[in-house]
Amino acid sequence: MNIAFDEYGRPFIIMREQDMKERLTGPEARKANILIAVSLMNILKTSLGPKGMDKILVSPDGEITVTNDGATILDNMDITNEIEKLLVELSKGQDDEIGDGTTSVVVFAGALLEQAQKLLDKGIHPIRIADGYEHACKIAVEHLKKISSEITFDRENYETLITAAMTSVSSKVVNEFQRQLSEIAVKAVLTVADLERKDVRIDLIQVQGKTGGSLKDTQLIDGIVIDKEMSHPQMQKEVSDAKIAILSCPFEPPKPKTGYKLNIDSVEKYKKLQELEQKYFHDMVKLVKDSGANLVLCQWGFDDEANHLLYQNELPSVRWVGGVEMELIALATGGRIVPRFSELNEKKLGLAGHVKEIPLGTTNDNIIVLEKCSQKKAVCIFVRGGNKMVVDEAKRSLHDAICVTRNLIRDNKIVYGGGAPEISCSLAVSKAADEISTLEQYAIRSFADALDQIPISLAENSGLDPIETISNLKANQIKTNNPFLGVDCLGKGTENMKEQNVFDTLAGKIQQLLLATQMAKMILKIDDVILHHGQN
């Protein structure tokens, strides 16, 4: 990122010298930046909410992604501009911390900047606007806390968690299986969670996918899954009390160094070489056997010769195990990843109660499952689907659902959704603005207007008249003093989101407001841009 800060902490953009063509400073620079952010918001806002449009993204090599996940859309867009890059990072920031709200955060940041432009046009200084936004954000966050509720759940009764997960699994691609996927995600999280300590290690949840079958065949597997088979068809398919050698070294004789010339000009020499190779394999297999291992997982492939020897020595083995799986297996089984055969010993073996190769539902594929790992309980969600696009979108939705569930276990506070909290905060912030006599009141009011953008987009995407919907909602929230009234996106006949059971986590919502405000302030302060018109 070519963003730097000057000695006063003001951000500015640097470009390479040969790219310097035209320079914008002050108001013009700001206007250009805001325009970019607003147009990005306009793309993303049509994806917001349960009726949001899915976007089809085509990569330069023709691969197709269908999604309504903000972070994914931004990730796949052809982004060259620095401001766009900042907004991509904004969305990713929300994704890393919270997991959902990735569309909303960019829409809100765009809305803040759009409102800021109106104030700039009136001659209000950007620093003033930034300060006002900061102040308004504090009011909104405090208000969110006030209107939040707590949900309850335990290991047996976790319907509320499923409901929360369902709000985040709303892409059309996977809609039909919303309930099933949410249930699987929640069960997975509960399996690895420590409810007393409110701690969830989501790295113990694998989300694996394989095309074939249908989404309905997606299953939760109790253990770690390796999407591979035993390396030799005649090897035993099940190992009880597995002692696992986790190897990151190949079963191969060492390669001659480059520049080294091997002259094989007679049958004897060839035989000698072959014997030497065999000896290598024998030694390797012996080292594994001597360590006490009864199962080998190898990050690399192995030669047919080695494979045969492993089979003869009754050492079931799996080759080409992925790096991420290797680490997870080491963590869950208490083993070490061993980079050299000579370093193998009993202490470095991973332990699992049961390992087996099992067939996968309807197709002819097999997978290997490591059950009862000795150190940590790990689970795998194995996603099936008709094509790669469906599988990928289901994986993304599951990621969101897992994050939401984890967030609720950490902190069980929620706010009812559908734009209700934004409307309620907008009212609270406007009210605060009325009590302020300085110039700051304008920025604070603009912040309230920007908040309206979320329910406006939800209404637009659901085919409702946005202005009418929002003004009615505001009037009703005031009249009934009910902060749960939001946009009835799915036409269920009630605006009460508590009755509709639509909610988002309080932590996620607060994070959205904080990150978007911070980003809008930062973009407002950039007043020097060098425009780039190609390199001619």
**Minimum distance of ligand ADP from residue 420's CB (angstroms):** 8
385 touches ligand ADP by CB under 6 A: no
Locus of tokens 């919270």: 98
**Minimum distance of ligand ADP from residue 53's CB (angstroms):** 10
In this structure, the strands spanning 350-359 and 238-247 are antiparallel
Partnered with residue 296 across adjacent β-strands are: 245, 317
426 touches ligand ADP by CB under 6 A: no
Q: Give the three-class secondary structure for 46.
A: coil
**Minimum distance of ligand ADP from residue 508's CB (angstroms):** 8
Please say whether the beta carbons of 383 and 398 come within 8 A.
yes
CA dist 62 and 56 (Å) reads 12
35 touches ligand ADP by CB under 6 A: no
Residue ranges in 459-488 that form contacts with ligand ADP under rule CB under 6 A: 487
Query: By C-beta, is 378 or 459 nearer to ligand ADP?
Result: 459
Structure tokens at 91: 């969305």
Backbone angles phi, psi at 120, to 5 degrees: -60, -40
Q: How far is CA 351 from CA 249, 332, 336, 491, in A?
A: 20, 9, 11, 53
Stretch that binds ligand ADP, among 32-40, 46-54, 184-192, 221-229 (CB under 6 A): 46-54
Partnered with residue 528 across adjacent β-strands are: 25
Q: Alpha-carbon Rg of the chain, whole angstroms?
A: 29
**Which of 170, 294, 430, 469 lies at the binding interface for ligand ADP (CB under 6 A)?**
170
Please say whether the beta carbons of 443 and 133 come within 8 A.
yes
458 touches ligand ADP by CB under 6 A: yes
Please say whether the beta carbons of 336 and 244 come within 8 A.
no
**Which of 103, 160, 206, 231 lies at the binding interface for ligand ADP (CB under 6 A)?**
103
101 touches ligand ADP by CB under 6 A: yes
529 touches ligand ADP by CB under 6 A: no
Binding mask 150-169 for ligand ADP (x = CB under 6 A): -----------------x--
Please say whether the beta carbons of 519 and 90 come within 8 A.
yes
Stretch that binds ligand ADP, among 49-57, 118-126, 145-153, 322-330 (CB under 6 A): 49-57
Stretch that binds ligand ADP, among 44-52, 194-202, 203-211, 240-248 (CB under 6 A): 44-52
In this structure, the strands spanning 413-416 and 55-58 are unpaired
100 touches ligand ADP by CB under 6 A: yes
148 touches ligand ADP by CB under 6 A: no
102 touches ligand ADP by CB under 6 A: yes
Query: By C-beta, is 109 or 124 nearer to ligand ADP?
Result: 109
* Ordered DSSP codes for 258-289: TT------SHHHHHHHHHHHHHHHHHHHHHHH
Stretch that binds ligand ADP, among 311-319, 323-331, 411-419, 470-478 (CB under 6 A): 411-419
Locus of tokens 């060098």: 530
**Which of 33, 65, 67, 68 lies at the binding interface for ligand ADP (CB under 6 A)?**
68
Partnered with residue 414 across adjacent β-strands are: 149, 505
Stretch that binds ligand ADP, among 117-125, 274-282, 361-369, 414-422 (CB under 6 A): 414-422
**Which of 502, 515, 516, 530 lies at the binding interface for ligand ADP (CB under 6 A)?**
502
Q: How many residues bind ligand ADP (CB under 6 A)?
A: 24
417 touches ligand ADP by CB under 6 A: yes
215 touches ligand ADP by CB under 6 A: no
Q: Which residues are catalytic?
A: 69, 102-103, 400
Strand runs labelled E in 277-429? 295-298, 317-318, 337-338, 350-359, 366-373, 379-385, 413-416
CA dist 210 and 229 (Å) reads 14
Residues that bind ligand ADP (CB under 6 A): 47-50, 52, 68, 70, 100-104, 167, 170, 417-419, 454, 458, 487, 489-490, 502, 504
